[in-house]
Amino acid sequence: MEVLMPEPQIYVERTLAIIKPDVIDKEEEIEDVILRSGFRILQKRKLQLSPEQCSNFYAEQFGKMFFPNLTAYMSSGPIVAMVLARNCAVSYWKEMLGPSNSLRARITHPHSLRALYGTDELRNGLHGSLSISSAEKEIRFIFPEAILEPLPTGQRARDYLNLYVKPTLLAGLTALCKEKPADPL
* Cα separation, 181 vs 71, whole angstroms: 55
109 is catalytic: no
Residue 103 neighbours by CB under 8 Å, 6+ apart: 120, 121
**Annotated active-site residue in 96, 127, 138, 143:** 127
Close Cβ partners of 115 (under 8 Å, ≥ 6 residues apart): 98, 102, 105, 106, 109
Beta sheet of 79-86, edge-to-edge order: 40-47, 79-86, 13-19, 126-128
CA atoms within 13 A on the CB side of 84: 31
So which residues are the catalytic ones?
A: 127
